[in-house]
Amino acid sequence: MSFNDIFKSSFLDNVSSVSILDMALALILAFGLGVFIFLIYKKTYNGVMYSSSFGVTLIALTMITTVVILAVTSNVVLSLGMVGALSIVRFRTAIKEPLDIAFLFWSIAVGIVLAAGMIPLAVIGSVIIGLILLFFVNRKSHTNPYIVVLQCAGHQSEQAAREFLEKRTERCVVKSKTAQKGNVELNLEVRLKDDNTDFINELSGMSGVSSAVLVSFNGEYMG
């Protein structure tokens, strides 16, 4: 009995069901589009701490998805087994940035489309998605909210500080107030007229104001 006879039950036939040229072309394109997705992610990242490992994951995920779909499309029985195998996989890593989910699905979708042979759709679709993300994510808006943390000596300094902020900002709303003997702490949400933050320096120098801190605010964290 030869080696071919041992594996004659369609194993060797499945190996040749996808040509070497198709494999190489799909993986090269997957790598190229994965790098493109990684560059867009790096360019549009606005989070607190940038993770280079997540960017590399996007490249690997695109290529891995391409390999899996190539295997699935070559054999119907294998596709059913692959669904069962992947159904037991559980991912415990928390996604901290909502936009990261879009990049993950983008990588998976590109891998699926490439393995399905729809190369123009994968390339043109990725370029369009990348341009849209660059346009919308990198748009600078001066209406982003900020939080001003004030330490005041009393009621008069508090009123003077609020009147000053109302003149120098588009919007000023008190979010919280803590009053202690001889000290008042205010947390105010403000929206700037422009990107100039020099008013905080003037505010900290006002009579009765011991501290003035300006932090960005996106509804989830401050920093």
The domain limits of the chain are 3-137, 145-216
Domain 145-216 in CATH 3.40.605.10: no
Edge-to-edge strand list for the sheet holding 169-180: 169-180, 183-192, 145-152, 209-216
Residue 182 pLDDT greater than 50, yes or no: yes
pLDDT tens figures, 94-141: 667 778 889 989 999 999 899 888 899 999 999 999 999 988 886 655
Q: The tokens 């006879």 sit on which residue?
A: 5
* Residues ≥6 apart with Cβ < 8 Å to 57: none
Output the pTM of the full model.
0.63
At 75, list the tokens. 């054999």
Q: How far apart are CA 116 and CA 108, in angstroms?
A: 12
- Grade residue 6 by pLDDT with cuts at 50, 70 and 90: very low
**C-alpha pair distances (Å), 178 with each of 99, 101, 151, 206:** 35, 38, 10, 20
The whole-number pLDDT of residue 85 equals 56
